[in-house]
């Protein structure tokens, strides 16, 4: 492997890790319930993912691979925690890990569906959603800016959210996620 392809490999790995690190951390935290331990385990998992990156099949779910590596790392961590009472045995831990992976995958599917459904909202509706939820403006502030009543803004937001919820649920149902 020449240095140019090594640089490309580093960039691909870095992009995948950054894009999926939050999801992997959430998975780890769900299973260890300790932020400091979760951060330590995430560092170990990140190093392992880099060491084994040549085995990662590109185009597949990096986060799922990261969670599989995390699961084994957490099992090793649990075995080292003999001085700390663990509330779950290994079988219960495995069941919880399986459920955490399923929830994480569904959350990703839901997020992707929401992004597609947002494209169906008219531009003024998207601006309203952006003002309210991305910029965290109050309804009163938005109403003042638009010269409308607060009730009108609440009703419009409610209609948009209802449409989005229906669209997301229908998308997930169509894709067999729900």
Distances (CA, A) of 60 to 31, 57, 68, 78, 110: 24, 6, 13, 28, 18
Q: Using the predicted structure, report yes or no on whether residue 3 has a pLDDT greater than 60.
A: no
**How much is the average pLDDT of 125-141?**
94
Return the CATH class of domain 1-86.
mainly alpha
State the span(s) of the chain assigned CATH 1.10.1740.10.
1-86
pLDDT tens digits along 26-84: 999 988 888 999 999 999 999 999 999 999 998 898 999 999 999 999 988 988 876 66
Q: How many residues belong to the chain? A: 178
Q: Indicate the burial class of 162 (C-beta count within 10 angstroms; 0-12, 13-18, 19 or more).
A: exposed
Quickly list H helices, 33-149: 35-51, 62-80, 90-118, 123-129, 139-146
109/19: higher pLDDT: 19
State the span(s) of the chain assigned CATH 1.10.10.10.
98-177
pLDDT tens digits along 81-112: 766 666 677 788 888 888 888 777 777 788 88
Q: Using the predicted structure, report yes or no on whether residue 16 has a pLDDT greater than 50.
A: yes
Identify the architecture of domain 98-177 in CATH: Orthogonal Bundle (1.10)
pLDDT band at 2 (very low <50, low <70, confident <90, very high): very low
Q: Using the predicted structure, report yes or no on whether residue 8 has a pLDDT greater than 70.
A: yes
């Amino acid at each position: 492997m020449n240095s140019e392809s090594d640089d490309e490999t580093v960039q691909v790995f870095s992009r995948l890790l950054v894009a999926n690190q939050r999801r992997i951390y959430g998975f780890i935290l769900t299973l260890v319930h300790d932020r400091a331990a979760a951060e330590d385990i995430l560092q170990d998992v990140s190093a392992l993912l880099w060491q084994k990156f040549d085995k990662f099949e590109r185009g597949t779910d990096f986060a799922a691979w990261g969670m599989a590596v995390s699961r084994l790392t957490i099992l090793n961590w649990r075995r080292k925690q003999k001085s700390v009472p663990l509330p779950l045995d290994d079988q219960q831990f495995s069941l919880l890990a399986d459920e955490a992976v399923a929830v994480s995958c569904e959350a990703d599917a839901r997020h992707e569906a929401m992004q597609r459904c947002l494209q169906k909202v008219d531009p003024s509706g998207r601006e309203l959603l952006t003002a309210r939820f991305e910029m965290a403006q109050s309804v009163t502030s938005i109403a003042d800016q638009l010269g409308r009543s607060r009730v009108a803004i609440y009703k419009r937001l409610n209609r948009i959210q209802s449409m989005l919820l229906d669209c997301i649920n229908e998308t997930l149902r169509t894709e067999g996620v729900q």
